[in-house]
Amino acid sequence: MTERSELVRHLPREGEVGRGRVYNQRLSPPEAAMARPKNDNFLRALLREPVDYTPTWLMRQAGRYLPEYNETRRRAGNFLNLCKNPGLACEVTLQPLARFPLDAAILFSDILTVPDAMGLGLYFAEGEGPKFERPLREEWAIRDLAAPDPDAHLRYVLDAVREIRRALDNSVPLIGFSGSPFTLACYMVEGGGSDDFRTVKTMLYDRPDLLHRILEVNAQAVTDYLNAQIEAGAQAVQIFDTWGGMLSHAAYREFSLAYMQRVIEGLIKSHDDERVPCIVFTKGGGQWLEAIAATGCDAIGVDWTTDLGEARRRVGDKVALQGNLDPMALFASNEAVAGEARRVLDNFGPADGKGGHVFNLGHGISQYTAPERVSVLVETVRQHSRHS
């Protein structure tokens, strides 16, 4: 039985999803979750150890481009219900691994679960994306902000981590994640997404003391949250700094990078006698690679606007690199997708007996992507990196 068909076997049948006790009985025993994954190329690449080939996972790999995901989301009723049901979160986490020979699973959740746990009232408006009922606009609300206890307020996420680890049965590693303190602050102050994040940037320049207060709380919250995911079974973690790249050079270091460094310094470095690598991904962060590498992270996610070979030369042996195919390349022909995958691998260059490269997109996969293109991509990366 192949690795992927084994994952299909673990997927719950229609009618079993969401009934946690029944579903858990079909999973492997909890002790099995403590072993090193059979396929540990992803972890080895992050730690710059020899690999069999360049491992691949995709940001937003469990998502709307997959018909099976859309069906599960329909049964959930809405996106937030999907995130808050550990059985459903486990189901959609496994779906892309059942289709493609990926080298890691990533927890299905949302970065905004943390501010939701702070009492800001997260909801998703149809066609408008995430919104908060109580954005941080008043000084008293900012002063009263506190980091949530993950065990008390985010247990559904931790339960999903445990369930996914059992379902994976040590086939591949599980990635946990959080938004960066600054990226979370953008949504918390604006009350949702924004074209220019005018409100939070006005606060940055007019009342930096208030923004620093939010970031201090967020840094503690993210540290606690990621550590709780690690203790529940996450074998690597990624910090998504989606909006740090929109800051000025000085502001990035003060309001984004400094707080990610606090998080990294507070993270559990190993669990169950295994190292737990940390990846930092700042979209648009190519100009700060050296500074990011100095935070103590194990790997840097690189978007498609940065030359991967040049990035490797700049960071040297300090960290691994992750990336960096333009997600829009997946709308091209199969031949073009394969060619772009080979170009990224060749751009990084030979591994020289070590890992150090995790293949990924430069940002999340588009919901309009054809699954066939992902198959071509993943197979090409594995074949080309094994034989190059």
Q: Which residues sit in the known binding site for substrate?
A: 60-64, 110, 187, 242, 363
Catalytic residue among 40, 103, 110, 159: 110
- Which residues carry a binding-site annotation? 60-64, 110, 187, 242, 363
State yes or no: is 64 an active-site residue. yes
State yes or no: is 159 an active-site residue. no
d(C-alpha 189, C-alpha 187), whole Å: 6
Where do the DSSP E strands lie in the chain? 105-106, 122-125, 129-132, 174-179, 236-241, 270-271, 274-275, 278-282, 299-301, 320-322, 357-358
Q: What angle do CA 167, 173, 177 make, to 5 degrees?
A: 100
Q: How far is CA 207 from CA 185, 200, 211, in A?
A: 14, 10, 7
Catalytic residue among 60, 99, 373, 382: 60
Are 304 and 362 in contact, with CB atoms under 8 Å apart? yes
Catalytic residue among 187, 225, 252, 259: 187
State yes or no: is 44 an active-site residue. no
d(C-alpha 270, C-alpha 277), whole Å: 8
Catalytic residue among 44, 48, 73, 162: 73
- Buried b / exposed e along 20-30 (16+ C-beta atoms within 10 A): eeebbeebeee
How many Cα atoms sit within 13 Å of 322 on the Cβ side?
33
State yes or no: is 73 an active-site residue. yes
Enter the DSSP assignment of 89: H
d(C-alpha 189, C-alpha 327), whole Å: 29
Catalytic residue among 4, 64, 275, 342: 64
297 CB burial (10 A radius; 0-12, 13-18, 19+): buried
State yes or no: is 60 an active-site residue. yes
Instruction: Count the residues in the chain.
Output: 388
H or E element that contains 311? helix 308-315
Give the contacts of 163 (CB within 8 A, at least 6 positions apart).
20, 23, 24, 27, 86, 87, 89, 90
Integer Rg of the chain from CA: 20
Active-site residue numbers? 60, 64, 73, 110, 187
